[in-house]
Chains A and B, each alone.
Chain A
């Protein structure tokens, strides 16, 4: 009886600490969402003094959301980001899983060099090579095309590494048996290896989608026409013009965050499992 009391006291303390930290996370998110529903003239009207109206909009309106779609082509930006993110995900899944399969189950001359290249590329973060990448991509003639936004994102050492880790757990005997039955390597890859690695696939989907959806620096550098504007560039454009357009800034920020949040909520469980599968287990 005494022990049970002690545990609940500890739980209460933890809860209070978490609730205080939680407010620092919750309040800004809530306030921006609430403010995006206010008439565009009164965004900052209720910040002082703090009271209920600071956090709950009085005259709810969707005009700020309507405006970004009718005046600012935010719909096209959403579409562009969706095209870029989904194409990158599909290509990365195909290319990286094939490489991961070869590295996990084959022995071939030059394997160590390939390992080294994969390792270097996931130790060197994407952002650090943006400027030389611009020079490479413009030499290829891709600047200001979808290819410039999509293709560099496919070169993903971490995805290859994840697949390699996952595929090496698949028992070799199954593959050998299929081989004896006369299946081609590609058939084995497609019919046996891929169906067995759904958790790895989901981790890569979340990782690559979020990376592409949230990227600002590369799209800013690689494209310069509104036709190819992606979500993050469109959001920050509201801040960069001479006079910040607060109402549109708020509504585009909220609208642009919905797709990655939805994806995360559905796939959260697998993503965490994928993290613990990256070889961090002691």
Chain B
């Protein structure tokens, strides 16, 4: 079965009591703080809280309302989809290119690996702060540079058309180095002999990359794509710190909308319905991505 193939280890000891004693603490934590909340999320999303604070079961009402009568939600839903569809392939592509460039033994390679990983070691909060000031429309470094090369100043996060692109750029800057590490780990597992054989057959570097490296990285690729999807759907910090969903809702990602719904408007039913939808979106995307990467794998 799938489960058993993921977890390894031949089983020898049959001491039931000892096994459960070792498992129990972890299981308690997982049930209380993970499985419990997942169930709460679904249950709560079927409830409505009245003004008096009484809860009542309303079935799919929260969901139906979101999709039928809630333009703010629709806008967030679309924004989140655009954000993910643009961002995911870009991050995977850039991380892969960085890994291929850094898969050597030259002296400078180590320096660049650390430099590209650095944004991951610092928090998304700090990353957002840094790019917020660099992209400041009036005093920011980015505009000084753009003026110098003759492009002219940009409004960046003050503009409806550029704000989401800015958040996407910041996310790429923050995360590419992290996924690059996974590709580097994958690259180191490809046997050198394959490249030697290809060289004898007269293959050039580009052919070697396309025919050997990329196909053999497909397992890593599918892991990175899936993990990265979940991560990106849940982007919160840059929106919270830089744009608060604006201007005009252009960066109002679902995660931020559900936060506002829960803790600003105190509508837990709507908030949990949104986070359940997010979980479902992650699930659907994951299945889809596993499908397409598996197709590649079999080829």
State the A residues within 8 Å of B (CB). Answer: 10-11, 14-15, 17-18, 21-22, 24-29, 31-32, 35, 44, 47-50, 54, 94-96, 98-99, 101-109, 111-112, 114-121, 123-125, 127-137, 151-152, 154-155, 157, 160-161, 164-165, 167-168, 172, 175-176, 179, 185, 189, 210, 213-217, 221, 231-232, 235-236, 239-240, 246, 249-250, 253, 256-257, 260-261, 264-265, 268, 271-272, 275-276, 279-282
Interface 9-residue window, one of B69-77, B81-89, B130-138, B160-168: B130-138
B29 to chain A, nearest CB (A): 4
Asked if B295 CB lies within 8 Å of chain A CBs, one says no
Instruction: Please pick, from A118, A123, A128, A260, the residue contacting B278 in the complex, using a CB distance under 8 A.
Output: A128
- Digit string of B141-162 for contact with A (CB within 8 Å is 1, else 0)? 1011101100000000000000
A-B contact pairs, 23 of them (CB 8 A): A14-B106, A24-B173, A25-B119, A25-B173, A50-B141, A95-B29, A99-B23, A106-B19, A106-B22, A121-B34, A128-B230, A136-B36, A154-B29, A157-B30, A232-B125, A235-B126, A236-B125, A256-B126, A257-B122, A261-B121, A276-B188, A281-B189, A282-B189
* Residues of chain A lying within 8 A (CB to CB) of residue B144: 47-50, 54
Known contacts A125-B230, A131-B272, A280-B220: A239-B37 contact under CB 8 Å: no
Q: Residues of A contacting B26 with CB < 8 Å?
A: 95-96, 98-99, 155, 160
Complex: how many Å from CA A120 to CA B26? 14
Closest CB-CB distance, A55 to chain B, in whole Å?
A: 9
B12 contacts chain A at the CB level, 8 A cutoff: yes
Contact, CB under 8 Å: A235 / B129: yes
Contact A216 B34 (CB under 8 A): no
Q: Is the interface of B mostly helix, strand, loop or mixed?
A: helix
In contact, B30 and A260 (Cβ under 8 angstroms): no
**Inter-subunit contact B101/A17 (CB<8 Å):** yes
Nearest B residue to A167, CB-CB: B9
What is the bound-complex CA distance between A260 and B299, given in angstroms? 42
